[in-house]
């Protein structure tokens, strides 16, 4: 007598990368090819992804930031509905540039412990 067993394959899609990023603090280390000084403080420019709500939070280097993000396709990433507090800071120009770049990001890449954000093929932001 021949008995066949069938194992049902899982039909769930793989988790998007944000699930492995969940609550991980990504500190900005490079912007437009230039290194970013790390302060080691809470105000250091960084992002934290909330995978359950598809929202991000963090700091632009002085002000608190946040908004929505979406993944689509293999490596597409978009930031939207961005908000920021409006304190005046000594380096507000760098923070404004960071937020401007973030709003134009359309893809990401992971290389080791680095999160690389790009527009087209151009690398604009690197986080660790």
Total of domains in the chain = 1
* pLDDT score at 74: 83
68 located within any domain: yes
* pLDDT score at 18: 66
Q: In Å, what is the CA distance from 121 to each residue of 19, 98, 108, 118?
A: 24, 18, 10, 6
Domain span at 28: 18-127
Side-chain-side CA neighbours of 101 within 13 Å: the count stands at: 20
**Mean of pLDDT over the chain:** 85
2 located within any domain: no
13 located within any domain: no
* pLDDT score at 11: 40
37 located within any domain: yes
Which residue stretches of the chain have pLDDT < 50? Answer: 1-15
51 located within any domain: yes
- Is the separation of the CB atoms in 51 and 18 below 8 Å? yes
1 located within any domain: no
31 located within any domain: yes
Q: Which helix (H) or strand (E) holds 92?
A: helix 92-103
Q: What is the CATH number of the domain that holds 92?
A: 2.40.128.270
- Is the separation of the CB atoms in 54 and 72 below 8 Å? no
pTM, to two decimals: 0.82
8 located within any domain: no
* pLDDT score at 23: 81
């Amino acid at each position: 007598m021949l008995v066949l067993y069938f194992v049902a394959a899982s039909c769930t899609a793989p988790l998007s990368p944000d699930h492995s990023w969940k609550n991980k603090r990504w500190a900005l280390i490079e912007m437009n090819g230039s290194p970013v000084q790390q302060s080691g403080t809470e105000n250091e420019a960084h992002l934290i992804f909330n995978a359950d709500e598809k929202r991000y939070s963090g700091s632009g280097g002085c002000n608190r930031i946040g908004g929505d993000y979406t993944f689509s396709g293999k490596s597409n990433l978009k930031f939207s509905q961005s908000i920021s507090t409006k304190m005046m800071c000594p380096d507000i120009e760098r923070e404004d540039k960071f937020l401007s770049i973030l709003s134009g990001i359309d893809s990401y890449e992971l290389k080791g412990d680095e999160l690389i954000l790009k527009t087209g093929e151009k690398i604009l932001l690197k986080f660790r």
